[in-house]
Amino acid sequence: MTDTTQRVVRIANAQGFWGDSRLGPLRMAQEGPVDYLTFDYLAELSLSIMQKQKMRDPRAGYARDFIQVLESILPTCQQQGIRIIANAAGVNPEACRDAILQAVQRLGLSGIRVGVVSGDDILGELDALIASGETFTNLDSGESIDSVRERITSANVYIGAQPIVAALEQGADIVVTGRVADPSIVLAPLIHEFGWSMTDYDKLAAGTIMGHLVECGPQCTGGNFTDWHRVPDMATIGFPIVEACADGSFVVTKHEGTGGLVDTQTVTSQLLYELGDPENYLSPDCVADFTSIQIEQEGENRVRLSGIRGRAPTPTCKVSMSYSDGYKVLATLCIAGPDVVAKAQALAEIVFERLAMLDSPIPEENRFLELFGTNVLYQGIVPAAEAPHEILMRIGARSQDRRALSLLSAEIAPLLTSGPPGVTGYAGGRARPSEVVGYWPALVSRENVKTYVTVEEV
């Protein structure tokens, strides 16, 4: 049985990704009890965007949205003693810290301790690390890094909970980090609050699974859920909160009065999200075993998870690198029937033939044509509807040559007057070629990872 008098630590994730709804953070702080608010800003390729921003402006390169969010919630958080952990520092922790300090001053607040965790950014040390024997072989493809070395634009180690714990022990009210493993942001305050040992792997695995559950915000409270018609009031959907106990068991819930649904099915759905081998969920802190989770409905919108087991982490840490991989462009046109498919194919041929006439041929393997409305999402899975009356033609290409892609884009509008009839929906202007950022996952040995923690008061 659960001891209801047991102390719980409440952690709420208020941000599932860079660009998530701004309604989340303030509501989380105001609408019910919370001890820690966490923010996840980093998808796989976010850091390469931030490196580019920093190259253009040495004061940029972190999640600037976080500063605005912070200004809106900080007075409430200070009043209620809510501490904040965010991987918002991107590739420019100093600039992020300065922006936070300025925000605190603008709000006229004082006595706030700001912790910064860095050391994840190894872009400047790649050559030295390679010289010392690190290979950075591509984890997915097994390719050697030599083929992309000159084009690498960001390289960040997924660091674990420990440096965040160190910042919290030094009294930080706000901790910002660069790349840390998403679940470590949630695990760290639990280690700090409950004094969990870094070798108590069952508890570390429990905290890791808590982090996994809440990292995509309302995807665990009824968002993106198969039985969506059962989910009440999605407009006011509550972000998830974990109420953690010292023994590693925890309840997933949401604030009273918010929309959404927390039941064993919504929570299980999120447990399975972006999951690989369930017995070997790797994090820098431990290996968590998802097949050990016991799950039960404890009350309305309250789901209890317990029994979680874990093992020691692997001797390596994951590194996420990005490299520039040429360009791509994608244009869309609406095609009306009859004969939508034949017309779209003719239009695509016309475009690529004209590009060849402009001395900018696109080789067959770099061309892209998708006829949305002809069953592209369920291709081969459900039978296609017979002859649709309208489709969206998505035409594009990849190339190392940006100019060729601009020409492709410019050849779309002329199709309306010089191709088959029934073509419309060209209103958004020319599509712009964009850079393709290649993703290069690799490993680095633990002893080559050094983290840094600073805490200062403003």
Partner 1 sequence: MPRVQLGEIALARSGDKGNNSNIGVIARTPALYDFLKRELTSEIVKQLFREICKGEVTRYELPNLHSLNFVLRDSLGGGGTRSLITDPQGKVHGAALLHMELEVPTDLLP
The site for partner 1 (CB under 8 A) is made up of 44-45, 140, 224-227, 265, 268-279, 290-295, 325, 328, 330, 368, 370, 372, 376-382, 394, 396, 398, 434-439, 441
Gap between the terminal Cα atoms of the chain: 45
Nearer to partner 1, 158 or 196 (CB): 158
Nearer to partner 1, 316 or 322 (CB): 322
Nearer to partner 1, 345 or 448 (CB): 345
Q: Within 13 Å of residue 174, how many CA atoms lie on the same side as its CB? A: 30
Alpha carbons 216 and 253: distance in angstroms, whole number: 14
Tell me the closest approach of the beta carbon of residue 115 to partner 1, in angstroms.
30
Nearer to partner 1, 162 or 301 (CB): 301
Tell me the closest approach of the beta carbon of residue 351 to partner 1, in angstroms.
15
Tell me the closest approach of the beta carbon of residue 103 to partner 1, in angstroms.
31
The three state secondary structure string of 250-290 is: EEEECCCCCECCCCHHHHHHHHCCCCCCCCCEECCCCEEEH
Nearer to partner 1, 378 or 427 (CB): 378
Nearer to partner 1, 320 or 451 (CB): 320
Task: Count H helices and E strands in the chain, helices first.
Answer: 12, 19
Q: How many residues does the chain have?
A: 458
Per-position b or e across 234-270, b if 16+ CB within 10 A of its CB: eeebbbbbbbbbeebbbbbbbbeebbbbbbebbbebb
Alpha carbons 78 and 425: distance in angstroms, whole number: 51
Tell me the closest approach of the beta carbon of residue 280 to partner 1, in angstroms.
10
Q: Within 13 Å of residue 394, how many CA atoms lie on the same side as its CB? A: 10
Nearer to partner 1, 143 or 277 (CB): 277
Q: Which string of DSSP letters, residue by residue, matches 182-205? A: TTHHHHHHHHHHHT--TT-HHHHH
Alpha carbons 111 and 73: distance in angstroms, whole number: 16
Tell me the closest approach of the beta carbon of residue 321 to partner 1, in angstroms.
12
The answer to whether 411 and 354 are in contact (CB under 8 A) is yes
Nearer to partner 1, 295 or 458 (CB): 295
> 10 Å Cβ neighbour count for 440?
26
Tell me the closest approach of the beta carbon of residue 179 to partner 1, in angstroms.
16
Tell me the closest approach of the beta carbon of residue 379 to partner 1, in angstroms.
4
Nearer to partner 1, 41 or 290 (CB): 290
Tell me the closest approach of the beta carbon of residue 41 to partner 1, in angstroms.
17
Name which of 130, 118, 210, 127 is nearest 157 in CA terms. 118
Per-position b or e across 56-71, b if 16+ CB within 10 A of its CB: eeeebbbbbbbbebbe
Pairing between strand 287-289 and 281-282?
A: antiparallel
Nearer to partner 1, 76 or 306 (CB): 306
Tell me the closest approach of the beta carbon of residue 438 to partner 1, in angstroms.
7
Name which of 301, 324, 273, 333 is nearest 436 in CA terms. 324
Tell me the closest approach of the beta carbon of residue 25 to partner 1, in angstroms.
24
Residues 6 or more apart from 443 whose CB is under 8 A from it? 136, 137, 139, 316, 317, 318, 319
Tell me the closest approach of the beta carbon of residue 271 to partner 1, in angstroms.
6
Nearer to partner 1, 62 or 440 (CB): 440
Q: Within 13 Å of residue 11, how many CA atoms lie on the same side as its CB? A: 30
